[in-house]
Amino acid sequence: MRFLGVDAGGTKTRVALCDESGKILSKVLGGPGNHLDIGIDKLKNTLQDCLNQIDENIAEVDLCILGLSGAGFSQKSCDRLRDLMRPIIPSKELIVVNDCVIALKGALGTSRKSGAIVVAGTGSMVIGVDVNGNFHRTGGWGHIIGDPWSAYGLALDSIKEVMKYWEGRGKPTSLVYHLEKAFDLHSIDDVLRYFYVEKHPKGHVASFAPFVLRSAEEGDEVAQMVVKRCIAELVDSVKPILKRVGSDFLSYTGGLFNNSYFLRTVKISLQDVNVNLTEPSLPPLGGALLMAMEQFFTVTEEIEENLKRQLSEESAH
């Protein structure tokens, strides 16, 4: 049997093909995959480019799980997206879910039936599942009205602090230097043009987050304040979900957690409210493959270990 897993995130799209033993036959990395940000046509192009690099007949794949950033959680929403993606992914069966669902499955692995994850990538969310398979979440409101602990939220908040400095009502910060060098923005007018005239995609805005974290780690007070606000929102969103799912298991996923300073700071902040952060069993791409295989048979620990060995976070970046 052949199973295809797709993790189409806000910044990158990861695709992997495996057999029923968990052996990875092909693995591909592509561009952004949030259709709400880049549009359906560009999403199709991203997926097609990825599939063109796989040396297998996709029509012979038994099941594809497409974890799609920006997909809703209702069956109607996912079915509509499945129908749109069908010409691009002609596998025997295709299931579309929100990309946070495959991330949650990957974090839980085969041994846990309930628990939650913190998502901190281009977007943000806390999502959990109870023993009955019901999903519960906080956040995930999107970049316009939410996503405070995402890379986008962290970057936007920092840019606002730089603008306050330019207005004479903010503290000096190394973020000014980084914004000038990274984005070539030197004034409030430059920032307004960047957002309102040039209308850069949120992935580009989010790319400023590593500079914020670097400044914070180096002791910049403004950057540290921004990170502190971001993580406070994250911590505040965790406990309601753990209560609803009836579990104390909390894991994580998303690009911000690749930063050791961010991961360390989140762990310390959660420990202050008696919550421990646990490393995910598998990355989201592994979660997609697990979901696909579980539609046909019980996945053993050996299969999960095979996936884990081949789909380490380091190799998936």
Same structural domain, 160 and 195: yes
Q: What is the pLDDT of residues 122-133, one digit of tens each?
A: 889 999 999 999
Same structural domain, 118 and 212: yes
In the prediction, which pLDDT does 314 show? Answer: 43
Q: What angle do CA 163, 150, 205 make, to 5 degrees?
A: 50
- Report the relative pairing of strands 115-120 and 250-253 from DSSP bridges: parallel
The C-alpha atoms of residue 260 and residue 194 are separated, in whole angstroms, by: 30
User: Do 114 and 128 form a contact (C-beta atoms < 8 A)?
Assistant: yes
Reading the block at residue 254, the tokens are 């998303």
Same structural domain, 140 and 90: no
Same structural domain, 35 and 54: yes
Same structural domain, 158 and 219: yes
Judged by DSSP in three states, 135 sits in strand
In the prediction, which pLDDT does 313 show? Answer: 46
| β partners of residue 18 | 3, 24
Same structural domain, 267 and 135: yes
In the prediction, which pLDDT does 134 show? Answer: 95
Domain span holding position 302: 2-110+281-316
- Report the relative pairing of strands 13-19 and 135-139 from DSSP bridges: unpaired
Q: Left, alpha or beta for 283 (phi > 0: left; psi -120 to 50: alpha)?
A: beta
User: Do 34 and 9 form a contact (C-beta atoms < 8 A)?
Assistant: yes
Total number of domains in the chain:
2
Contacts of 18-23 with CB under 8 Å at 24 or more apart are 18/289, 18/307, 20/293, 20/296, 20/297, 20/303, 21/303, 21/306, 22/289, 22/293, 22/299, 22/302, 22/303, 22/304, 22/305, 22/306, 22/307, 22/310, 23/306, 23/310
In the prediction, which pLDDT does 141 show? Answer: 87
Residue with tokens 């503290």: 171
Same structural domain, 142 and 266: yes
The C-alpha atoms of residue 88 and residue 172 are separated, in whole angstroms, by: 50
In the prediction, which pLDDT does 143 show? Answer: 86
Same structural domain, 193 and 237: yes
Look up the pTM and report it. 0.88
Which residues of the chain are under the pLDDT cut of 70?
A: 313-317
Same structural domain, 98 and 122: no
Residue 254 φ/ψ, nearest 5 degrees: 115, 155
Contacts of 311 (CB under 8 A, 6+ apart): 16, 24, 27, 282, 283, 285, 286, 289
Amino acid symbol at 267: K
Same structural domain, 70 and 122: no
In the prediction, which pLDDT does 317 show? Answer: 35
The C-alpha atoms of residue 276 and residue 51 are separated, in whole angstroms, by: 38
CATH at 93: 3.30.420.40
Q: Three-state secondary structure along 60-73? A: HCCEEEEEECCCCC
Same structural domain, 6 and 106: yes
Same structural domain, 155 and 105: no
